[in-house]
Amino acid sequence: MIRRLCIIGVGLIGGSLARALRQAGYVREIVGSSRRAEHLQEAVELGVIDRFDTDAARAVQGADMIVVCVPLGAMEQTFRSIAPALASDAVVTDVGSAKARVVTAARAALGARLSCFVPGHPIAGTEKSGVTASFAELYRNRKVILTPLDETDPTATARVQTMWETAGAQVQCMDVEHHDEVLAATSHLPHVLAFQMVDTLARMSDEDEIFRYAAGGFRDFTRIASSDPVMWRDICLANDRAVLKMLERYRSDLDRLAGAIRAGDGAELERVFRNAKAARDRHNDR
């Protein structure tokens, strides 16, 4: 059981974890921290956290589990702020989507306390953000990837794994580079495409009419374009190599598809569409 959980960045991800652990009876006290007191007060009123401190170093004092849910660009400064205040039995983990950038920040900031750090990434979320969007069931039967370092204490990894499993998640471990390549393909690329598609249509002269007649397919495909733009900006820049690799591959395939349309090659179009449908149907329930 977690004695005192500190969540730095109490939004959808951190708030949902807090709700799940409280619902499971797995945590005695939850402390929140972020830059804006009004957001933290809202989290208290919603019952997500018990108390808060806008100073991260004060917030982590006495906590045996710290979950860092800040944007990727703020990771290093957050780690530097909390490192001197960590309790001797504290475990630190994060929820960042690009692990190489997070690991670099942790190595630079945590120093001798690096052994207590367990990089993590819950593969869960919605297009909404903020603590008001959080809910206890977010992680139920969803995957969480941990990327422990050579220096990470195995006991710390086990504690983080148990925490996520208690929240309902299925935990898997992989190395940092492989994580970033996989997520570039399955998460980062779809978000980039959704953002770009909506931006392209929004800049057309008949924007109002286009969106007025948008049907379910458009809404399904572009739902994630309502996600936090700042967070996704940071993710793209942090995982730039893998994201660019996937974009180049997608651009090549898109050019080939355009060529088939230009040539009136219905057989090639049907081949692509059938292959896509079969793959989607095969993996739909995973």
Residue ranges and CATH numbers for the domains of the chain are: 2-174 (3.40.50.720), 178-283 (1.10.3660.10)
227 vs 30, higher pLDDT: 30
Tell me 226's DSSP state: G
Q: How far apart are CA 165 and CA 161, in angstroms?
A: 6
Q: Amino acid identity, residue 175?
A: D
Q: How far apart are CA 2 and CA 232, in angstroms?
A: 31
Q: In what side-by-side order are the strands of the sheet with 120-123?
A: 120-123, 143-146, 170-173
Dihedral in degrees, nearest 10, Cα atoms 68, 241, 225, 164: -30
Joined tokens for residue 198: 């909506």
Q: How do residues 48-89 score in pLDDT, each as one tens digit?
A: 999 999 999 999 999 999 999 999 999 999 999 999 999 999
pTM: 0.86
**Residue 89, SS3?**
coil
The CB-side HSE value for 67 (13 A sphere, CA atoms) comes to 28
Q: How far apart are CA 273 and CA 276, in angstroms?
A: 5
Tell me 187's DSSP state: I
Tokens 């941990």: give the residue. 146
Instruction: Report pLDDT for 129.
Output: 87
Q: How do residues 90-118 score in pLDDT, each as one tens digit?
A: 999 999 999 999 999 999 999 999 999 99
Instruction: Report pLDDT for 285.
Output: 60
Instruction: Give the least confident one: 163-167, 227-231, 261-265.
Output: 227-231
Please say whether the beta carbons of 184 and 246 come within 8 A: yes
Instruction: Report pLDDT for 286.
Output: 59
pLDDT confidence of 212, banded at 50, 70, 90?
confident
89 forms beta bridges with none
